Structure 1
């Protein structure tokens, strides 16, 4: 046995995958359902290696306490890492690594599903029939995706996968990215931001979040520049979208629909239960009240079998690299 790793945020359906891969890579994986944070940091006390997922924020003060109690390796099984205090890890000498890429199809398929559900008014229609109403209404009439221009904001590996899916359905696909890769150019047509916003019937956000650089990148002005009746989908990070501005645009019938798999301050909403008539904040209440034109899923973009295997396997390979060489190509410390 190479060593013991305590893994946080492990859901019941994920346990068999952890157990199988733990045996395959010769690690003793201790599985916890709790999400590691400042309030429960003691759960990781005494462990040299910790594996977390998103929504496991631990600040520098508590990272220091973990270091004093044996922590050497802090692994996140996610591509996003804004929940990891990389600066504190570097200062404390804690090795930390991430998973730069896992099944891009997982997130792309969800983006497509949210977009098509809104485009074809599926949630509204199913609500009608569920309540016994089988008459075709004007809201059931829709556009076809082959007659739409789909804009991909953030044209990396996941963005390109989404572009291929929509292109396969016959849509015209355009893109916006500060880096216009040759690979993406084979799939879509790049546009400047103004043209991108004005031409897109459906906008899918896959933009990476860079704290302090692109907070609320999709703001009220950019939303106002979008086409009338556009559909906006955010499956990237909540911080890149001004969600309140997007909700306002739906209420005012500028946007036809909004699909969210992420929001800012996710820990206040996700992995909790609420009375839908009495949500914890006005914005969260508005998200619920605007259904079925606003759809929200609790950050399930990576909740697929193949993505899960990728996330666990790459994390264990990262651990292997540290043990064998003292370094890791996926290190967050530069």
Structure 2
């Protein structure tokens, strides 16, 4: 029986996984620890590893895994910016992922952040619990007829576009590869500068790549409308957090909704309620009343978790049994 070490596993991961692995010929061991240079030794004796968004598969970790005879890495997510792909290919790793689990889950969370910020639901909720029913300070704005800029028109971008169409928004898109479905839905593709200049709301749905690192930086923010709303449910590194913080202080950014954070590893997915968070930038960011942060939960629905579990299991079964796997589930030139 093949053995797989699962890193960064939580109680809900194990609960969903148990429903899918009962008839599997794979033996899974679940570790709560994230994969890192300090924890990679836990993988010794296994045939493959399964990792998540904040697990670290850098050159050192990959070299250690290779020395253990491990050649298969299963990502239970779509993004793979946490894996050194060049080194992985050099060492002969086969890496699979879950390219799509529930675009609608992330899109709905994206719009939830927009509505929370635009109508100040979070403030109203706390006020009513304290018996305060005054409306002062709760003035919002309509999404209807606003211009929404969507950066990245893959499955999640398209799902978000469809929802915003329902609100009666004008949609601008930016992506190196134009998606015919976006055009069919009435969206207009423009360059980034035009999107920054015209959008009332900017929503990020692109992968984190060298060319998209800090796509929202000081220069980009300076081109935006004063009071713009920025939403990021993709990857934290798309935003230069220091630049965004300055933009909030100056009022150039009117609203910020984040489900991801540039330095979220070590913070997100953990209960730190009894500790003092040492990240001063994050602490400053969450002090703004016009900022809404959720802990990377955009994917967190029953439907999405079931898809992640079943796809990951199918990927591992195929690779461990030397069976062909659809290229869309593989990363790199495999």
The corresponding residue for 2:129 is 130
Aligned-pair CA distance for 1:203: 1.0
User: Residue deviations 1:306-330, cap 9 Å, x none?
Assistant: 1112222222222233244455322
Kindly report structure 1 stretches of 4+ aligned residues shifted beyond 6 Å: none
SS of equivalent residue, structure 1 residue 267: coil
**SS of the residue 2:265 aligns to:** helix
* Partner residue, 2:167: 169
Distance 1:42 1:321 in 2: 25
Aligned to 1:322, which of 319, 328, 332? 319
CA contact (8 A) 2:2 2:320 kept: no
Q: Name the residue aligned to 2:6.
A: 7
CA distance in 2, matches of 1:38, 1:58: 8
Q: Which consecutive residues of structure 1, in runs of 5 or more, have no partner in the other structure?
A: none
Q: Matches of residues 25-40 of structure 1 in structure 2 within 5 Å?
A: 25-40=24-39
Give yes or no for the alignment of 1:254 onto 2:252. yes
For residues 288 and 275 of structure 1, the distance between their equivalents in structure 2, rounded to whole angstroms, comes to 14
1:220 aligned to which of 218, 221, 245: 218
RMSD, aligned α-carbons:
2.0
In the alignment, is residue 98 of structure 1 matched against residue 97 of structure 2? yes
Residue range with higher mean Cα deviation, 111-120 or 62-71:
62-71
CA-CA distance at 1:208 after TM superposition: 1.3
In the TM superposition, what is the alpha-carbon distance from 1:105 to its structure 2 partner? Answer: 0.9
User: Secondary structure at 1:145's aligned position in 2?
Assistant: coil
1:241 deviates by: 1.1
**Aligned residue number for residue 233 of structure 1:** 231
How many Å separate the matches in 1 of 2:138 and 2:259?
24
Q: Does 1:70 align with 2:69?
A: yes
Counterpart selection for 2:157 from 154, 159, 173: 159
Segment drifting more, 320-329 vs 270-279: 270-279
In the other structure, the counterpart of 2:330 is 331
The superposition leaves residues 105-157 of structure 1 with CA deviations (integer Å, 9 ceiling, x where unpaired) of 111111110111001111122232233321110x2121111131221111111
How many angstroms does 1:296 deviate by? 1.0
Q: Is residue 297 from structure 1 mapped to residue 302 from structure 2 by the alignment?
A: no
* Alpha carbons of structure 1 residues 125 and 177: separation in structure 2 relative to 1, 3 Å: same
Mark the runs of 5 or more structure 2 residues left unpaired by the alignment.
none
Cα pair distance change 1:191/1:58, threshold 3 Å: closer
User: Which among 292, 312, 322 is matched to residue 309 of structure 2?
Assistant: 312
Q: 1:24 to 1:203 in 2, by over 3 A?
A: farther
Q: What is the aligned residue count?
A: 330
Aligned mates of 1:113, 1:177 — CA distance in 2: 23
- 1:315 counterpart SS class: helix
User: TM-score, normalized by length of structure 1?
Assistant: 0.92
Partner-residue secondary structure (3-state), 1:140: coil
1:192–1:90 Cα change, 3 Å: closer
- Inter-partner Cα distance in structure 2 for 1:220 and 1:105: 31
Give yes or no for contact 1:258–1:295 (8 Å, CA) kept in 2. Answer: yes
In the alignment, the residues of structure 1 paired with residue 249 and residue 124 of structure 2 have an alpha-carbon distance, to the nearest angstrom, of: 19
